[in-house]
Amino acid sequence: MADLNPVLRTLAKLIYGALPAASYEDAVKNFKKAISLAPQCVALPCDGATAE
Q: Does 1 reside within a domain? A: no
Q: Does 42 reside within a domain? A: no
Q: Does 17 reside within a domain? A: yes
Q: Does 30 reside within a domain? A: yes
Q: Are 2 and 22 in contact (CB under 8 A)?
A: yes
pLDDT of residue 43: 65
- Residue 52 to residue 49: CA distance in whole angstroms: 10
pLDDT in tens, 14-52: 998 887 777 888 888 988 888 888 877 756 555 445 655
Q: Does 45 reside within a domain? A: no
Say whether pLDDT at 8 is over 80: yes
pLDDT of residue 38: 81
Say whether pLDDT at 10 is over 70: yes
- Tell me how many domains the chain contains: 1
pLDDT of residue 47: 47
Which of 41, 39, 30, 4 shows the shortest CA–CA distance to 19? 4
**21: domain range?**
6-37
